[in-house]
Structure 1
């Protein structure tokens, strides 16, 4: 989560309960949760009949990508809400002006169907692996759901397990990756999403760029020269 910002309830955590370490293998991974979320964060025009309520978003630091670079990450959608009050989560690629380039995926509970994209939701623009994402049903146990951990309202509660998303960057430029989740129609029973391993062109998004070795040596040389002058 180095350099990530956001609104509402977002951050990093280790696996607990039903949500285990991702295939990427990080000791901690990112999350967004509707528990203690804020208003006004749903996707405009997305969700069908009803209204978005409290939600949270996490935004990556800006990153550069070349034409043809692969953007990849893992996600795991978790919800204690079901039936007609189904919350949803998403990932978007934004350009440097914060305009949407691609709605990479949306995740939402259904009554016995796939969670990606879920009902009344657009199809994902990213390639998902596995492509079919039926929810692991039950009362999901994850501390990020707050007091709703271990609870369930009606059919559709559970978690997807870790899914890999891949998207090919069409044009070179600077971009942001946004992760979000929102309650739908009410704020009873919360939902959340874990995410990990966001890379572009094989480089982890948010990793500080190391100083090239020649510049490091030059810096050390200048420091040494400074000490030599002081001694004189």
Structure 2
């Protein structure tokens, strides 16, 4: 009976271990935006989720969809208050908790049909539980020459980005979220950045929100947008958590059966000892 007991314990442990690994793998494979904008996220203006489209390729996370915000059909009153903002859009996550030292990571791609002196811009920032900005993570800005990311002439960023500086891939960008501006270009500065990786170490434990935004500057013509994906905090995605697949449930069920066998063998051992 002792041998059986050890085998049952080992089988149960193995099944639970496999089940946990399967759940973890399912979470890692799930894209934040594969089912659209996650429930509970808030959008002001125009936001959405799309697969590879035009100049914005499939996200580097391997997910099917990425999220985006666009100044197309945006609203007034958004931006960082730098001056000249007209219309734009903002997407904000649900509240999430993080510990000091947790890594906040995601990738982004800035796309703009505007150029010359019309310096549209995009950003991401971390907000505390009272929606007060804590960290400006990255900026991107239309400019005829120089650094598009971090945004030329904008406040310094606090995340680490890879590549460290990015100039625009010039040309009229074809991308559906730009609406009627897709495939158009107003002078030098239009184009897209390609996917850029951003990482930031949370300074203090607490409750936070992550915000993505884009805004037209000086006019509301020739739209700009921002794509983003792969958002994780401490290695865990911000978004819907996937339901374990049938294989995972089977493994967990096998683990429960193993534990039941362990309990039964213990009762039989006690009965034999009492006799």
The two structures have a TM-score, normalised by structure 2, of 0.73
1:15 matched to 2:52: yes
- Work out the CA distance in 1 between the residues paired with 2:209 and 2:242: 17
| Larger-Rg structure | 2
Which residue does the alignment assign to 1:200?
233
- Alignment of 1:26 with 2:59, yes or no, is no
Tell me which protein shows more strand as a share of its residues. Answer: 1
Query: How far apart, CA to CA, are the structure 2 residues paired with 1:200 and 1:207?
Result: 14
How far apart, CA to CA, are the structure 1 residues paired with 2:86 and 2:165? Answer: 28
* CA distance, structure 2, for counterparts of residue 161 and residue 14 of structure 1: 15
Q: Is 1:2 aligned to residue 38 of structure 2?
A: yes
Within 2, Cα distance between the matches of 1:89 and 1:53?
13
Which aligned segments of 4 or more residues in structure 1 are displaced greater than 2 angstroms? 117-120, 207-211
2:107 pairs, out of 60, 71, 74, with: 74
Question: Which residue of 1 is the match for residue 140 of structure 2?
Answer: 107
Match of 1:85, SS state, is coil
> Partners of 1:39 and 1:112 in 2: how far apart?
27
Q: Which position in structure 1 is the counterpart of 2:79?
A: 42
- Which residue pairs with 2:181 in the alignment? 148
Distance apart, 1:210 and its partner CA: 7.0
Answer yes or no: is the 8 Å Cα contact 2:140–2:152 preserved in 1: no
Listed as ranges, the gaps of 5+ residues in structure 2 are 1-36, 254-275
Aligned Cα RMSD in Å? 1.7
Residue 28 of structure 2 is matched in structure 1 by none
State the alpha-carbon separation in 2 of the partners of residues 209 and 188 from structure 1: 40
Q: Aligned residues, how many? A: 210
User: What secondary structure sits across from 1:83 in the alignment?
Assistant: coil
Structure 2 counterpart of 1:62, from 72, 87, 95: 95
**Structure with more helix by fraction:** 2
Task: Name the CA distance, whole Å, in 1 between partners of 2:117 and 2:61.
Answer: 34
SS at match of 1:53: strand
Q: Deviations over 1:63-107 (max 9, x none)?
A: 110110000000000000011112000001000100001010110
Give TM-score scaled by structure 1 length: 0.86
Q: Specify every segment of 5 or more residues in structure 1 that has no aligned partner in the other structure, as ranges.
A: 218-232
Matches within 5 A, 1:48-197: 50-197=83-230
CA shift, 1:119, in A, is 2.7
Query: How much has 1:209 moved relative to structure 2?
Result: 8.4
* Aligned position for 1:220: none
